[in-house]
Structure 1
Amino acid sequence: MTAATEVEPGLYDIPAELYHSDPIPGGSLSSTGARRLTDCPARFKYFLDNPEPYKPEFEFGTAAHTVILGNGPELVVVDAKRWDTDETKAKVAAIRAAGNVPLKAAARQRIDDMAEALARHPEAADLLIPGSGLAEQSAFWQDDNGIWRRARFDWLRPEEICDYKTARSVHPDALQKAVNEHGYHQQDDFYRDIAIALGLIPAGGAFKFIFQEKQPPYLVTVAELDFPARAIGAELNARALHTYGMCRTTDYWPAYSEATTYISLPPWAERKYAEENQ
């Protein structure tokens, strides 16, 4: 597959760069795009026309995915005391230009320690047994409304999808907040839809998140979203897909509001004021 060529619905083993460049002629919608549309069509259109610049802070997560899933760019340790010298900057830039990930020795060791911790977690280790699934696979599907959708599965098993995510904390309260903040409930529904439509998993197939902390002791939690979270994710995706179709047809991508908006204080602030002035 190459960019801007005719693509048949199905599963493809292609580089991440090609997937993110969107090889579908005329464009396709990803889970990230659906989440941006849910927030604001104008913001979605901006990022569509102005792809986000490269962010080195994402490299740690990319490197962790490579080690944990056994698929990804080459990881190159740059064993220099300082990364702000011209020599080291040039070396790091060359590594990135080659499509690889530069890492400090301490960061590489931390990722290896994370992999060892994950291997000691019975359920996570069982889900990611080498040969039990396919890593970093890209799927493309055109739905009944003619909208092309795409997804990139971290780990695709015959009966379920597994998604590995690094996190600051795997405390239940922190994960609940992360799911809502990052729209993981939309990702769950979006990926399931594509995988089921393509026959990659059965209709009742699971979506399991494997969350792991980035600091010692590198705690791991395997989680599935409950029915209300999945239902809300499905509803938000349905709205995003409708918005996407309408905006593409009209080439009109509205912002939050285009008229004067009246803003209230947050409910908690109103309650606090009322309690203090009784």
Structure 2
Amino acid sequence: MTSDVWLPLRADDIDGLPEGLEYRFWDGGQEFPADPADCVFYVVPYMRPPGVAHRPLARMTSVRVVQTLSAGVDHVQSGLGVLHPGVRLCNARGVHEASTAELTLALILASLRGVPGFVRDQDRGEWRSGFHPALADKSVLIVGYGSIGSAVEDRLVPFELARVVRVARSARTTERGPVHPLTDLPALLPEADVVVLTTPLTDATRGLVNADFLARMKDGALLVNVARGPVVDTKALITELESGRITAALDVTDPEPLPREHPLWRAPGVLITPHVGGPTSAFLPRAKRLLAAQLRRFASGEPLDNVVFTTGA
């Protein structure tokens, strides 16, 4: 029976890995570290194009687990059709919450307080003060209230908000209050000053933020996307930005990377960061803890955490 584990991090750098498995280092390079047919646990290289993650899959005839180091799995799930039934796909829940929530707060504050304009003024040596909105007393709508959405709310708590409204795929109740279903969005959007997107990319959320969604947002509202670019209809967003009715802060775009000549770069009222929500100093310690814990469960036959999809199910 094979026991190869493919890791994009050096096994010697990860504390707590179980014995009895053969650890192979592969971070997406041209050469495979061993025969893919012997791999039983495949950790997808982080921040690589989907084609890299997919390349060994067709030859992984023994694989039982595919583990991502990203919160979203859309870039990997699309390639799992070549695998045998019963392979579990696990995401990196618990790894990116702190970093992504920090960036979300930074994007909100920078956009509301006019920081991009101040930076441009600094480059020109110009001192221009002015009046800008505060986050205090605002209503924030979080669309996609999972672990990242909850972490965003954790960091919003001290800012004296008027309220936080939570939306997820289905309704439920949390210690902080109700979570509304996606079907409630048309009624909730007109009341939100800030709309934060933290939802995974699925068939239900692709293009969720379309012309109708944007039209329902209140005048002067801010849209923040730290989810996936295709959750937003880029053409519809540009139309609204050019009207000056709303503003946006985007860590993800569609397309991505955003081409140099794309009109979204030059749209008024938009702040763009290059998909940097996850890769911070907080990533490696949490990624290593996740991998060690998952592999200990795998080696002992215990149920894995973060299983989001099983092939053939």
Smaller-chain TM-score bracket: under 0.3
Instruction: Write 1 or 2 for the structure with the bigger share of helix.
Output: 1
* Larger RCO (CA within 8 A; separation ≥ 6): 1
**Normalised by the size of structure 2, how large is the TM-score?**
0.24
